[in-house]
Amino acid sequence: MTTLEKQLPKITKTCFVVTAIGQNGSPERIQADKVLKYLIEPVCREFGYKVVRVDKESTNGDINESIINHLKSDELVIADMTGHNANAFYEFGFRQALGLPLIPIIKHTEKLPFDVIARRTVFYDTDVAEIENSKERLRNMVHDVDAFVMPSQRSQSELNLQSIDSKLNEVLNLLKKDNPKTKPATPTKVKTHEDSRKFNENLIANLKINNEDIKLKSVETLQQSLQRIITDQNSSDTINASFLKRESFPQLSLSDKKF
């Protein structure tokens, strides 16, 4: 293993390449192989992507089904629009409709079709004197989309936030019954960390929670904060004790949530 290989990140993601492939030995195949080897693979490897092109996969199934699965599930798709290939356009449009990370590239001597012209695009040149500049342009684009979180990875985090939000709303509504001066808790839709941050700001305004309470490190800390709130509001008889039981809260650590 070379020193450079040791410095590269582990392969944890997949980049699917959309391109005109053509028959073995055809100008299309020669062009596609050159772009893959000297432009796409080196850049994607720097970001921990395994690069996949459908003709290089060993599969016994339906090739079209394999392509669709890659378009739906891979973390990144790079679409080479060189030659204005009809299949490449279809796959480009399919991925774009999903709203997932997509980087169009095209040979610098060609013009972008009208449907693609509004997107940031890498115009590349595989000439030895220009390939490094092309790699840098692609590198910048990959860097910009690399922080994107796929929907399947987002969903569990959002469900956890919604579960916590629901429990806190129940507590606030019960406190309202005991203390009419406390503003009622309105249902919130916690979809992002920004929503969660705003929700906690409302908690501070309603119940005068110390800033330290927002720095929750675990479910236990959350329970302790709620217990103190209830004690301060003199409503321990009103609150159902089940809200303070461990099983009433989602079993997860909150240390990675940035409120």
Residue 236 has pLDDT above 50, yes or no: no
* 3-class DSSP state of 51: strand
Q: By CB neighbour count within 10 A (0-12 exposed, 13-18 middle, 19+ buried), where does 46 fall?
A: middle
The DSSP 8-state label assigned to residue 9 in this structure reads P
Cβ atoms of 79 and 102 closer than 8 Å: yes
Cβ atoms of 221 and 237 closer than 8 Å: no
**Average pLDDT in the chain:** 73
The verdict on pTM exceeding 0.85 is no
Cβ atoms of 223 and 157 closer than 8 Å: no
Residue 33 has pLDDT above 60, yes or no: yes
Alpha carbon distance 144, 96 (integer Å): 16
pLDDT level of residue 58 (50, 70, 90 thresholds): confident
The H or E element containing residue 14 is strand 13-18
Domains and CATH numbers, the chain: 3-145 (3.40.50.450), 151-248 (no CATH)
**What CA–CA distances, in Å, run from 211 to 7, 200, 203, 219, 249?**
40, 10, 11, 17, 22
Chain Cα centroid distance, residue 10? 18
Residue 1 has pLDDT above 60, yes or no: no
At 174-212, the pLDDT tens digits run: 655 655 554 544 444 444 555 555 555 555 555 444 444
Alpha carbon distance 23, 80 (integer Å): 17
Lowest mean pLDDT among 52-56, 200-204, 216-220: 216-220
Cβ atoms of 249 and 167 closer than 8 Å: yes
What is the total residue count of the chain? 259
The pLDDT value recorded for residue 238 is: 44
Alpha carbon distance 256, 18 (integer Å): 35
Partners of residue 122 on adjacent β-strands: 105
The pLDDT value recorded for residue 107 is: 96
The pLDDT value recorded for residue 151 is: 72
